[in-house]
A and B are shown apart, each in its own frame.
Chain A
Amino acid sequence: MGLAKRIIPCLDVDAGRVVKGVNFIGIRDAGDPVEIAQGYNQQGADEITFLDITASHEDRGTTVEMVERIAGEVFIPLTVGGGIRTCDDIRTMLNAGADKVSINTAAVTNPEFVREAAERFGSQCIVVAIDAKKVSAEGEPERWEIFTHGGRRPTGLDAVEWAKKMVEYGAGELLLTSMDRDGTKAGFDLGVTHAIAEAVSVPVIASGGVGNLDHLVEGVVKGGADAVLAASIFHFGEYTIPEAKRYMAERGIEMRL
């Protein structure tokens, strides 16, 4: 008995609304972030992550208001990612009630930003998002590199080395997404998950590719992830959070039931 592995539903939000909708039982408005967050909290989600895909800068204010409204109603950890580029962005989100922010592209273009953010706000609220893609050919020792712009732009950075560097710079947690698997429902890339989970001292959240509950189990047992993040399998009611937790617990994983 000890620290539970976490299940984190991830919501994409655009101008304060959840895109792609959520249609589990009891939700009246498939796009209302407060109602959805409350629903997930009642189901026993361990945290909630919001990925802000709002394109225009002017509309980002609505995301801040959204975080404020959710933080007044839902008392579990909230992470906000997407478009976090400056310490002011971080302060705004933390003041609105976010517990952590996730830094993605800005960490690649300016690693010092991660160091500055961790020094200013504490590592506990700085998550670095790592988008990795396998670059080794069949038969070669496995290697992964960091990609930006939704997996389209290579950076030449080795994913494991990058993960170690980000932790050294003060990341308190890593959100690892396999760009090969994202959206495929074929399961996590367990190779990169395990390589990074073993290489760093901080918790690793596995993301990208979840299609069924066995994938969640594998992410923890074989990948060594401390938490698993998923979107579609929960949003569209294929599985509920309690189902997922029971399934994982039955396979010997410590869960908060």
Chain B
Amino acid sequence: MTIAVIDYGMGNLHSVAKALEHVTHENVVVTRDPRRILGATRLVLPGQGAIRDCLGELERTELRGLVEELLANQEKPLLGICVGQQMLLERSEENGGVDCLGFLGGEVKRFPADMRDDLGQRLKVPHMGWNLVHQHRRHPLWEGIDQDEHFYFVHSYYVAASDEACVYGTTDYGRVQAHVAIGRDATFAVQFHPEKSSRAGLRLLENFVQWTP
């Protein structure tokens, strides 16, 4: 039993791996070796920074084809985190418009710059800090996590999925309702950082490790 954190050069892999090691005795590897990725029982697709850079690095490390194949087959559980969630959509507004992996319908949009809160203060972009995640529908990865629990976010772009059936969690920021947890079959992907979300985040990772879709 091995959990592979896919290392294509973008993202805080150390944190994800450490958090997984904290919740499981299974072997956790951070790797870009296609054989080790194919040999793993579960996969984590992280991502941080600009989406064009992330997709560019995925291509440069020759992992894009492999990731697309894994997504097409849906044979083993995959958890996308942050830009690892965003890249599953069809398209992102970031970097002047970027085509993504297209595993799920919908696009990635930028938060409007002009939003204000109830006190009249500017709502900042990036959306950074702890916000509430509303569980839109049940999923094994929500097991033991309270409805409307806080998770840690850092992002300027958000997912707007076109198929409501793929939406598992939403978060409100200003007038935007972001689809912060999406999934289909053996894939689940979140905008927030479970590896930085203290107890609730660790529980989600533990659920992922035990998930048999």
- Summed over the interface, the residue pairs from A and B with CB atoms below 8 Å come to a total of 102
Q: Which residues of A contact B196 (CB under 8 A)?
A: 75-77, 99
The answer to whether A71 and B124 touch (CB under 8 A), given A2-B117, A3-B173, A201-B113, is no
Contact of B129 among A46, A95, A121, A172 (CB under 8 A): A46
Count residues of chain A with CB under 8 A from any CB of chain B: 37
Interface-facing stretch out of A14-22, A207-215, A221-229: A221-229
Considering only CB atoms, which chain A residue lies closest to B113 in the complex? A201
Interface-facing stretch out of B14-22, B55-63, B96-104: B14-22
Say yes or no: is A190 at the interface (Cβ < 8 Å to chain B).
no
Contact-residue size bin, chain B (C-beta under 8 Å from the other chain): 35 or more
Considering only CB atoms, which chain A residue lies closest to B19 in the complex? A75
Q: Which residues of A contact B12 (CB under 8 A)?
A: 94, 97, 99
Say yes or no: is A25 at the interface (Cβ < 8 Å to chain B).
no
Q: Which residues of A contact B165 (CB under 8 A)?
A: none
Contact of B198 among A72, A75, A122, A203 (CB under 8 A): A75
Q: Which residues of A contact B132 (CB under 8 A)?
A: 1-2
Considering only CB atoms, which chain B residue lies closest to A97 in the complex? B14
Besides A4-B130, A121-B49, 5 more A-B contacts (Cβ < 8 Å) are: A2-B132, A72-B22, A123-B126, A201-B124, A203-B129
Q: Which B positions have Cβ atoms within 8 angstroms of A?
A: 12, 14-15, 18-19, 21-22, 48-50, 113, 117, 119, 121-132, 148, 150, 152-155, 172-174, 195-198, 201-202
Q: Which A positions have Cβ atoms within 8 angstroms of B?
A: 1-6, 41, 46, 71-73, 75-77, 94-97, 99, 121-125, 172-173, 197-198, 201-204, 221, 224, 226-227, 256
